[in-house]
Structure 1
């Protein structure tokens, strides 16, 4: 623990060093620095503005800093951005960003993001769709707090705004070759070329990258059918083309097309706690799960007999048109994108063949088209903007959970005998079903059973919004910013539930009714009589019946008509007053309202929030399948202080924030199924942020920040559901109180028109519970990550050779902990990446 505290102290010292050396600053103030923070431009308000003039908590990361820190996708960004947390779980799609402790677990495609992601002006509808190689980046802006006025729904916690490099009218190229080793061996090749096709009229930029990496995890396959002995590997190719048409002094038109393919294996999860069920697993397949007390998750050896195939294709087109009229500017941005994921999973995360998802029957397809039109201009002391936005989404999920050869004996062993599934089913059938034919052992829950044909979920969503965002200079140094956005959303969802092939569950549904309502007087009497006949307690029978009839085993779903629609309209907005006391000090206060759309739980579930699903009422036509959940609404208040000093070489900003969520969407896994809870009592997050950037010389850059965030679910009355009640008044999952980040970069000449580079960046986060249901077994203690880079190259940057390391100290930590599926008392976790190091060669013009 002392080591962690020491590392955290070092990071804090690096981040706040600019506040602790007044004498040094006094000396620097007498010098004339070649670089200043005034050159940092952001588009956080969809206008180009200096970062210190924007009344928003926004941090901008330049292309140089991102390159030195090895940032290739949004997950890498966490090492730099205070208050940002990004995790990946069961597949490549399930990537979730959180800001100031707020985010949404991404396993269910019906749930949208709390943190929006915009790439070159086009919003990506889910965080997972944005996960991948970002190509040549000009800058990344992280906006904290609700951004609902300009960026619309699903930005209730914040926004990540990514700006890539444009085509240029001068010829140039950029080549990169890298090799990595350590936790895994691999390579990355990337290159681009840019230049004019028609002088002063048409310029293009072509970019391509290819990467391949061994897996971070070794897999024990136990005879398969899986043959791949590695997991969490990487194999991708991406191509991006841009064409920029210069329309003279008044405007430009840009077309972009890109496609990425990832063919990988992901995501294994080792055991962190093995409960008593591990004894049954090991009785069937010795070594299939570590026994209690022998868990070693950071040996990075996992047990998986089934494939974890991930085949991702992501691509699209977008166009942007900008034209300056005499009194205003017109901006139009349109896009069409398609995302496809074929995914396999060893769903029990053990070496036994219990449950799995076959990649031929599990997929996710997402199509999205967007269009935005903005008019903006200045009239005297009034800077105005009005616009409209439209989005059309089409989502299809195919989900099939199948049983392996060990499911039936495993379930039986939980009750004391590997044949108990058929013994109980036959006992019920012979007693209560006339003409019943007994099942043979192995036929009760046969291999390949479950909802093996697969369920299909379809969702169509259309969103239309009108917005205005304006700044009125009410005084010489005082601005009033105000805006409002009206968003109208319509969603239609359908599900085609397949019949299940689990004959033992058919018996239970026949005897007790398809609804499996064990509370009726008739079923209580049946249970009592059967308990007496078998000498098995009623409570044990209920538990065994529940496991025999897991959601994927029940035919009741195939008799449910899931064809629903919902519409909602919301107003979001912003009101901000800022005053510049002098050239170096801006203070502002902001109120903003954010919104995340309601939707549908696209899954089989038996629990909807705090309530069990009343299948009997649904079958009787007196109720509908409770798949809908309500929108998430937040009111946020922020007080900001933006300061500059020492000839504009020092940026030191302080933000105080408080966000009150009226309702909060939660997606949690209880070991059997995911269920969505809409917490009507809501949640709050409050805290403070310090942000620093110092450019003391032309050679040295220091950047860092610190966030304190107290993110909690509000207190609510007991519901009787433990997985829900545990959340009342508790700190949110994956919401550490403290985040500290820092980066130091030094470049210096070394003779012969050459220079050398030294870079160190790091991040500390305090203790956090990584599980959505806050089980104590899922707590991750505070930890520190450090990255480093050393290099030499030409001063004109025509070439460079760099040696780098990520997770320099090989810190062991878990990203997300979860209940072992169908294994009460057992827990698994998705791990953070181990130490890797490598070498990169660059050439550019």
Structure 2
């Protein structure tokens, strides 16, 4: 990475400047300001964040804008302990909190991190990539939330809360322009009366200039075209009845990011996972460029990458547009009804979201076609929550029912002509595939999930200083799955299987081999018979889960300003299926549910006459049957698989601080430390395994993937008057993420990186308008939050954005 020394100097300077300026503010006898109270709804009712005995990171909408947050994924920049990465180019972001994450790239995989928009769950992360806009606040809840939240998760929750309609007429607009010809426009209008209030908000982000440059030709990638619209209407027919209706729409026709290839020797592996064309021109003695470094290899330049724009089948003559891009739409509706009756509040929350996409991605980081895909997805999610809450003496209580159902249809068209399983087999002398190379695959699956739960939550203030929290949730879930990798229109997969097994498969036939010895259609039972085609069949399975989970917590108010708390909580995440290309039915066997028990103690202290909030927590996780990537041993080789890790442990500590040394200066700091270890796991040994024999190795003692040991963020902001009624503001922030090991896959490891942002703003002290100059990734750090095997052959890295800068102008009539 470049500028390392400069970054370290700048990092130390920023932190030491915060202390120095704060010291000047105090020694100058400046009166300390008081922090505003942060109100959260983490426990389904409004509470001060300082009075809730759980770990929460809360951010206002203004903070999100200042940090340049565009999507849910960007919240990781602000939250130590939260990471977002990917393990393939399939358009599926992977969230982890405190090392608890599921590194599966399948669209159908539910996340360990629950993501909610106005209390409506988005159970599949592919649905969450729309714009974040007109947001009141974001709450990141860390640790299993085993009672109040609808879709079972083990890592925690991220809650996005939108700004709500107002009775007073109010409107606002902001416009930004930055490098790479990027512009953004966001606006809202709100108003009403005592009976009806409405709010409409929109945002668009556009760029007609790519930020990635092809390493082999004059081509750019990275144009943006994404827009979002939300409307909210409140009806207050009586003092006791409230109805809120919401509709939203997101359309995204942006270009996707491409990968950069790196040599596996950098992480102790061979140069590549499998050979591919045109690598032979550089690595084989007969190659025209033998001994030279392939020009598409990474050069530690975040803007350097490569990709494929089109593929023409040599068999059908059909041309496919496979340039990395997406055409995605999310449409949603929600209804929230609240009724105050007999001293209680009955709440009904109904949500429906439909997500459709056609998305092309390039895994392999090259102009060749080792691994590219087009995903066509149709996803529908419905949820209904009904709860009743009240206060009885020293008790606050909530009880409720939850139901959700979703349907997913996924068509995954895969291109692999230049892989070792395709034409790459010829120069590399792999005779098994040279005669009948596999060029295209059609993977299709359907998944239906029904989940129902009953839950309860009690907070008992049994003395002036002690509060007991009890929560429980019982969930029943059923998931039906049916899928197969079919012979594509070119027939190449069928040609290969027919040559190997004497079958007669054609386009549209299932090509997944039944390798279950207990099945009557086991491949070795029917091979050589007229029934051999019966060994290739759609895999169908249903898994059911029913489980209790819950929590018990004790809060102790040491003083009016200091809260000590302890919590034992339990969560689980239900099992699922492998949505990757499949060669055998054993590869598609479901993985089991995972379970996590958390033990956490913490403190929340309001100090220095209300000018400082200091929170700290330490925790220990007993993690059982963690869902994780592994190798699946198949007829065509060792390919993508999923499994459960029997035993793991995580321990860590976190601290965050907000401090106002004066009414002009603010300092924020957040730090997270993690120590993770797999205690028991016999993973597949890819070097010793060959179908149908699977050899395992003991990998106990390794760290979990996506679990950086250290992460922190720090922000300093200072404002001062420059003219009558005008204020100038200068701010800077830094975020650091430690390196990761990649778990059992060294190619998934990442290096540590540090990012700096800076802002200079001018506006009246009323906040009615603001002009802001900003720069993000100020030092132009070349960093990659994700790395993995790029499909079949190369190892690739997915780089973050280079330095961006621009100006934002905003105006709000309500201030």
Q: Give TM class, smaller chain.
A: 0.7 to 0.9
Q: CA deviation at 1:836?
A: 0.4
Displacement after TM superposition at 1:348 (Å): 3.6
With normalisation by structure 1, the TM-score equals 0.82
> Does structure 2 retain, via aligned residues, the 8 Å contact 1:323–1:330?
yes
The question of 1:779 aligning with 2:753 is answered no
Mapping 1:102-113, distance limit 5 Å: 102-113=100-111
- Is 1:490–2:485 an aligned residue pair? no
- SS in structure 2 at match of 1:445: coil
Supply the distance in 2 between the matched residues of 1:27 and 1:475 (Cα, whole angstroms). Answer: 42
The reply to whether residue 678 of structure 1 matches residue 674 of structure 2 is no
What residue in structure 1 maps to residue 569 of structure 2? 592
- State how 1:195-274 maps to structure 2 within 5 Å: 195-196=191-192, 199-213=193-207, 214-219=209-214, 229-273=219-263
The answer as to whether partners of 2:114 and 2:122 remain within 8 angstroms in 1 is yes
In the alignment, which of 709, 712, 716 is matched to residue 740 of structure 1? 712
Residue 50 (structure 1) shift:
0.6
Give the alignment of 1:629-648 within 5 angstroms.
629-648=591-610
Query: In the alignment, what sits opposite 1:474?
Result: 462
Paired position in structure 1 for 2:80: 82
Q: 1:13 and 1:489, CA in 2 relative to 1: closer, same or farther beyond 3 A?
A: farther
Whether 1:698 aligns to 2:663 is yes
Alpha-carbon separation, structure 1, partners of 2:535 and 2:486: 6
* Bigger mean CA offset, 228-237 vs 376-385: 228-237
Map 1:653-802 onto structure 2 (within 5 A): 653-667=615-629, 673-679=639-645, 681-717=646-682, 720-721=685-686, 725=697, 727-769=699-741, 771=742, 773-775=744-746, 777-802=747-772
CA separation in 1, counterparts of 2:765 and 2:555? 41
Residue 781 of structure 1, CA deviation: 2.8
Helix, strand or coil at the partner of 1:344: strand
Equivalent-residue separation in structure 1 for 2:304 and 2:13 (angstroms): 32
Aligned to 1:378: 391
1:813 aligns with 2:774: no
Tell me the secondary structure at the aligned position of residue 471 of structure 2. strand
Which 10-residue stretch deviates more, 210-219 or 108-117? Answer: 210-219
Question: Mapping of 1:15-30 within 5 angstroms?
Answer: none
- Quick check: 148-157 or 259-268, which moved more? 148-157
* 1:441 alignment partner in structure 2: none
Residue 628 of structure 1 aligns to a residue in which SS? coil
Q: CA deviation at 1:577?
A: 0.8
**In 2, Cα distance between equivalents of 1:287 and 1:194:** 64
Query: Structure 2: 5+ residue runs without aligned partners?
Result: 265-270, 310-322, 505-510, 518-523, 525-531, 690-695
Q: Quick one: structure 1 residues 844 and 116, their matched pair in 2 at CA, closer, same or farther if it must change by over 3 Å?
A: same
Q: CA deviation at 1:470?
A: 0.5
Instruction: Write out aligned runs for 1:53-64 (5 A).
Output: 53-64=51-62
Corresponding residue for residue 507 of structure 1 = 499
Give CA deviations for 1:400-438 in whole Å, capped at 9, x if unaligned: 22344787442111128xxx567x74xxxxxxxxxxxxx
Q: Would you say 1:844 and 2:815 are equivalent positions? A: no
On the 8 A contact 2:86/2:103 being kept in 1, the answer is no
CA distance in 2, matches of 1:838, 1:206: 26
CA 1:736–1:403 in structure 2 vs 1: closer, same or farther (change >3 Å)? Answer: closer
Structure 1 pair 12–739 and aligned structure 2 pair: CA distance change class (3 A): farther
Question: For 1:501-523, what per-residue CA distance to the aligned partner results, in whole angstroms no more than 9, with x for missing partners?
Answer: 22244312339999698x9xxxx
TM-score, normalised via structure 2 length: 0.85
Report the 3-state secondary structure (helix = DSSP H, G, I; strand = E; otherwise coil) of the residue aligned with 2:64.
helix
Q: 1:830 aligns with which of 773, 798, 806?
A: 798
Secondary structure class of the residue paired with 2:147:
helix
Distance (Å, rounded) in 2 between the aligned partners of 1:140 and 1:368: 22
Pick closer, same or farther for the CA change 1:754–1:356 going to 2, 3 Å.
same
778-787 or 3-12, larger mean C-alpha shift: 3-12
| Distance change >3 Å, CA 481–CA 515, structure 1 → 2 | closer
Q: Say whether 1:650 aligns with 2:644.
A: no
Aligned counterpart, 1:225: none
- Aligned mates of 2:298, 2:715 — CA distance in 1: 35
Structure 1 residue 105: Cα displacement: 2.2
8 Å contact kept, 2:364–2:796: no
Deviation at 1:604, TM superposition (A): 3.2
User: How far has the Cα of 1:170 moved from its partner?
Assistant: 0.8
> 8 Å contact 1:457–1:494 — kept in the other structure?
yes
The secondary structure found in structure 2 opposite 1:498 is strand
Counterpart CA distance in 2 for 1:287 and 1:352 is: 17
Counterpart contact for 2:116–2:158, Cα < 8 Å: yes
Aligned length: 748
Partner SS, residue 768 of structure 1: coil
Deviation at 1:258, TM superposition (A): 0.6
Q: How many Å separate the matches in 1 of 2:48 and 2:299? A: 50
Following superposition, the deviation at residue 279 of structure 1 comes to 7.5
**Cα offset, 1:471, TM superposition:** 0.6
- Matched with 2:314 is none
Question: Does the CA contact (< 8 Å) of 1:785 and 1:809 recur in 2?
Answer: yes
Q: Using the alignment, how far apart are the partners of 1:238 and 1:839 within structure 2?
A: 21
Q: 1:511 to 1:132 in 2, by over 3 A?
A: closer
8 A contact 2:551–2:570 mirrored in 1: yes
Superposition map of 1:154-193 within 5 A: 154-181=152-179, 184-193=180-189
- Residue in 2 that maps onto 1:323: 339
Describe the SS at the equivalent of 1:271.
strand
Go from structure 1 to structure 2 and tell me whether the alpha carbon gap of 1:403 and 1:687 turns closer, same or farther (over 3 Å shift).
Answer: closer
Offset, 1:4: 5.3
1:455 corresponding residue in structure 2? 443
With over 3 angstroms needed to count, the CA separation of the structure-2 counterparts of 1:17 and 1:380, relative to structure 1, is farther
Q: Deviations over 1:560-604 (max 9, x none)?
A: 242211111011101001110111111111000011111122233
